[in-house]
Structures are given as structure tokens and as C-alpha cells.
Amino acid sequence: MSKGLDAMQNDMADPDIRRFVDAINAAYAEHGAPEGASMAARRAVAERVRKPWREGGPIMAERREIDMGGVRLRLHRPVADVKLPVMLYIHGGGWTLFSIDTHDRLMREYAARAGIAVLGIDYSLSPESKFPVALEECAAALDWIAAQADALNLDAGRVLIGGDSAGANLSAATCLLQRQRGRPLPIAMLLNYGAFAPEHTPSYARFGAGDYSLEADEMDIFWANYIDTPDQLADPLVAPLRADLSGMPPSFLAIADCDILADCNDAFASKLEAAGVPTRAVTYRGATHSFLEAASIAPLAGRALDEQAAWIRDIVGA
């Protein structure tokens, strides 16, 4: 059955975002690791492909590299000598790829636009480190912020958490784990095109063939990499859409219109709202998965970042 005109128009990526996706695909075609390449080789290719998109952008007053018991952290401060709110930012990449290097510009964009410090975490990647290793590291980072806030001139009472894709999953799951343990929760969650459950939905069929950044088969592999056994997919700490979301922090969801995860994000936003969580969910028409990384060329990405930054400033009282 053919789609109606409105549906066809909704499936069209923003032209600047399309340039970003095409450039990423071309870079993978040029630098792609051969079939059967090691995970280290695949990660090196991913870092190389993302390199042009992490460069440029805001200049920070301070960038500090930190070792948290063998886990690498990076702190960005847009201004010096001021006690700042801080957001723990958790990068995407299917729990398998990417790093605080690939997402360095995105973290600096948040720091500059919202006037906050941003702390990125290089959590352990799967399949070498499966659930719950990365989750435990993210929870440990929240506890570390609370312990080190004064020394780093950060406001321990104004801590946010955020991430994209698998990082949005880990952000929500970290809050669930902290709630389970009776630990303080961040004051807000920033969730960008998150992977909140593994089920295929209609948006998988519409956007999963390879023209919109994230493929359906690729996402299935990421889920398989993250877990030890399929029964773990029923665990709310793996798939937060299955969780009781009452008491979760106020949330901003940036939903990419042309993304296999669009339905999942809509469902997560609805479940947050039904649980009484103050929720702002914005669907960015023409956006694909990972579109925020295109801030250097795409006004749509810049608008989304500005809207999120304004929401953050409201949350922290800046």
C-alpha cells in the first residue's frame, strides 16, 4: 500500500541533516573496516569517521581530563571561577562504539549554550563489558560528582544527566538504579533519541533500511552486544520503557522524526507523563538519528540545542 502525501513528506530528512548522513555514509565507505575486522579496528574507523563533526564549536574556559578509578572522564567548563551546575553526559554508539572524543563538540555545545559544566564519561563498551558494567560506572560517576563537587567548583545540588541513543538509555537506567538504591537523583534528564526498548515498531519499518543513519539490523546487534542472555531484555535497567517511571526527574526528550527509535521515544515520553513526571517531548521534523552532531551545518540541530539549553537554564535557575 502506498503512503499518503503527508506520510511521505514526514519521511523526508531535512536537507542539511541529509548532507550529514550522506557524509557519514561516504566516510564509512572510504574508511570502513573489512568484514571480520576486530572490534578495535571497527572502533578506530568510527572515531575517524566522526572526527570532522567533533571539531570546531565553542571554546571552553577549562577542559580537564580525569581518571575515576580507571574510567576516563572529561570536564568542560564554559567559564572559570564560578560554581556551576553540571550535567553528566553519556555518549551514544550502541553501547559498543564512540567515546567522549566523538561527542566532544556536542558536550561543549551544551556547556556553552546552557552555561553549565558538562562531564563526559568513557564508560566500558560492549561486547567486552556487558550489562551492567557501563550502568554501574555511570551510577558511580554520579556519586563521584557528589563527592568531588566542592573540589571542582561544581554545584552538587544542581546535577543533571543526559545522553543520546544508548547514552539516553543509560541516563534513564542510571536514575532507575539510583532510585532503587535510595541514592539522590539528578534534578533533570536530557534524553536524545534514546534506545529504551528493543522491540521493532512501525518506525523501524519506515526508517530502518539504511537511509536514515541507524539501521534496524544494526540496532539489533547493539542490543545483542549489550546483554549476556535474551532474558535480560525484560529487565527495566536494560530496557527502561518496561520500568515504573514514577518519581523520575523532569525530562526533555529530543525525538528524531526520521529514526527507527521514534516510536520508542514517543512511548517513553507518554509513560513518563502518565507517571506524573514533568516531561517536554519535542519531535524534530526531518531529523534523523544522531542529528545533533550536525550542529556545524544544520540549523535544525542548532535550534534543538538552543531549545534544550533554554530548558536546562530554567531547570537550574540560571
C-alpha cell at 316: 537550574
Q: Which residues are catalytic?
A: 165, 259, 289
Beta bridge partners of 99: none
Q: What DSSP designation does 231 have?
A: G
Question: Contact 263/201 with Cβ under 8 angstroms?
Answer: yes
**How is the chain split among helix, strand and coil, in percent rounded to 5?**
45, 20, 35
3-state DSSP assignment of residue 101: coil
Question: How do 71-77 and 84-90 pair as beta strands?
Answer: unpaired
Beta bridge partners of 192: 164, 254
Mark out the alpha helices in 32-128 (DSSP H runs). Answer: 39-54, 104-114
Q: Which of 281, 273, 285, 200 is nearest to 11 (CA)?
A: 285
Chain length of the chain = 318
- Report residue 134: phi and psi, to 5°: -60, -40
**Cα(36)–Cα(9) distance, integer angstroms:** 38
Angle, vertex CA 122, rays to CA 169 and CA 101, nearest 5: 105
Q: Which of 260, 195, 203, 192 is nearest to 226 (CA)?
A: 195
DSSP string of 173-190?
A: HHHHHHHHTTPPPPSEEE
